[in-house]
Amino acid sequence: MDWLPVKGRIDGLDSGPVTYKSRGLGRELGLGNLYISFNGCWPEIGARSATGSFKDLEAAPTLRMRKDLGNSSILVVASAGNTARAFAQAASVAGQPVALVVPKSAIKNLWITVEKGPLTIVGVEGDYFDAIQVAEKISSLKGFSTEGGARNVARRDGMGTVVLDATLALGKLPQHYFQAVGSGTGGIAAWEASMRLIDDGRFGKALPRLHLAQSLPNAPIYYSWMGCSGEFRPGATFDEVLFNRRPPYGMPGGVSDALKATCGDVYGISSQEAEEAKRLFESSEGIDILNAPAVAVAALASAVRSGAIGRSDVVLLNITGGGLARLHEIMAKNCLEADIVVSRPEDVINFMEGIP
Ligand SMILES: *Cc1c(COP(=O)(O)O)cnc(C)c1O
């Protein structure tokens, strides 16, 4: 909490990552010091993410920082999945206004576990990119604003708590950090948190190496890093959550800088590898996970096979979402519906201008 850019917490939004030492997966892979940061619902180990993914870590500080700054405009968020759920839940708990812009086909995945708060849900005919265009139109209207994506420090610092929590649990920085990425913001956040821990002086001097994983063939960060080109096939990846066509890669302080500074690497993972990794994780650790983190598990298996990491290295694996089966056992699902469905950005103006 002390290291987040906020003045306090939001009651009801205080779940964080849980770090534990793996037994099952570590044994299967032959790793003696594998630590898992679990970001999902698994009450038995103390993990209580409200919507089942580490997007919860971004939503709460983002809303709290806006409150601290006295920003009462309506926050506009475009998302096709976990981000929409996290912001819907956080906005409802905090009572702060948010407009979610979601492809119409993704609205069926939009649920929260509390009563709906001051949310406006805009369905868009089309895909995530059409939704982004509608969101840009709405944010240009008076009384609305965006959160900034990778440029939002509250978002990055929220995700950075994964490394902070693990380092406190371990007493030192891990040597390796594995995460499945779409935008790569989680990788940037892990790097930034590690630099602060090194500045602190108590936890070691070496930056953890970033091992970022993407699902083939929709893997723009992987292609950029390898200096090759690949053909995207929307709908063809193991996990659509991870497909972001405009990642913050080359900008100063972006994904490329984070990889270079940490001697990192990027892994391109096939659907088959990810499927096998998902089965291996679930059977060896005893909890269900989302498809995205299975891509990170596959990257870890690949790094062990290639010798990129040593058998006794201290490894942190970020399981970015999971425990949905447990979550639905203990929490009722409140499915959300669109307040308006539009097909072009212009169509949304009149409706939205009536809200603030
Ligand atoms: C968003 C997301 C990721 C990737 O996050 P980045 O912003 O690319 O770091 C990974 N896993 C899950 C479950 C996600 O929702």
Angle at 167 between CA 324 and CA 42, to 5 degrees: 15
- Determine, yes or no, domain membership for 143: yes
- Determine, yes or no, domain membership for 27: yes
The percentage of residues in the chain with a pLDDT greater than 90, rounded to a whole number, is: 86
Please give the Cα distance from 283 to 31 (Å, whole number): 17
Confidence of residue 212 (pLDDT cuts 50, 70, 90): very high
- Determine, yes or no, domain membership for 12: no
Q: Do 27 and 93 fall into the same domain?
A: no
- Determine, yes or no, domain membership for 354: no
Compute the distance from residue 21 Cα to the ligand 1 centre, in Å: 22
pLDDT at 124 over 90: yes
Helix axes 153-170, 185-200, angle to 10 degrees: 50
Beta bridge partners of 38: 18, 319
Q: Which amino acid is at 48?
A: R
Q: Do 187 and 309 fall into the same domain?
A: yes
Q: Do 324 and 242 fall into the same domain?
A: yes
Q: Given this model, what pLDDT does residue 128 score?
A: 84
Q: Do 146 and 46 fall into the same domain?
A: no
Q: Do 64 and 97 fall into the same domain?
A: yes
- Determine, yes or no, domain membership for 133: yes
Q: Do 336 and 323 fall into the same domain?
A: no
Q: Do 201 and 299 fall into the same domain?
A: yes
Q: Which atom of ligand 1 is nearest to the CA of 181?
A: 8
In a 3-state reduction of DSSP, which class is residue 257? helix
Residues near ligand 1 (Cβ within 6 A): 53, 55, 82, 180-186, 241, 290, 292-293, 320-321
Beta strands 34-38; 41-42: pairing state: unpaired
pTM for this entry: 0.96
Report the number of distinct structural domains present in the chain. 2
Reduced 3-state DSSP string for 117-185: CCEEEEEECCCHHHHHHHHHHHHCCCCEEECCHHHCHHHHHHHHHHHHHHHHHHCCCCCEEEEECCCCH
Q: Do 201 and 291 fall into the same domain?
A: yes
In 3D space, the residue among 327, 338, 295, 344 whose CA is nearest the CA of residue 104 turns out to be: 338
Structural contact between residues 321 and 36, judged by C-beta atoms closer than 8 angstroms: no
DSSP alpha helices (H): ranges in the chain? 24-29, 56-68, 82-94, 128-139, 153-170, 185-200, 220-226, 255-261, 271-285, 291-306, 324-330, 349-353
Compute the distance from residue 340 Cα to the ligand 1 centre, in Å: 27
Confidence of residue 243 (pLDDT cuts 50, 70, 90): confident
pLDDT tens digits, 141-173: 999 999 888 999 999 999 999 999 999 999 999
Compute the distance from residue 38 Cα to the ligand 1 centre, in Å: 13
Compute the distance from residue 28 Cα to the ligand 1 centre, in Å: 25
Average pLDDT over residues 193-212: 98
CATH number at residue 279: 3.40.50.1100
Compute the distance from residue 29 Cα to the ligand 1 centre, in Å: 24
Q: From 58, 79, 82, give the residue whose CB has the most ligand 1 atoms within 8 Å, as the site to mutate.
A: 82
pLDDT tens digits, 46-87: 999 999 999 999 999 999 999 999 999 999 999 978 999 999
Q: Do 191 and 307 fall into the same domain?
A: yes
Q: Do 143 and 156 fall into the same domain?
A: no
- Determine, yes or no, domain membership for 284: yes
Neighbours of 214 (CB within 10 A): 30
Full domain range(s) for residue 129 = 56-151+331-346
Q: Do 104 and 250 fall into the same domain?
A: no
Q: Given this model, what pLDDT does residue 299 score?
A: 98
User: In this structure, what token pair is assigned to residue 4?
Assistant: 């987040």
Q: From 222, 241, 324, give the residue whose CB has the most ligand 1 atoms within 8 Å, as the site to mutate.
A: 241
pLDDT at 241 over 80: no
In a 3-state reduction of DSSP, which class is residue 267? strand
The least confident of 6-10, 57-61, 243-247, 323-327 is: 243-247
Please give the Cα distance from 298 to 27 (Å, whole number): 15
Q: Do 201 and 71 fall into the same domain?
A: no
pLDDT tens digits, 253-276: 999 999 999 999 999 999 999 999
- Determine, yes or no, domain membership for 2: no
- Determine, yes or no, domain membership for 4: no
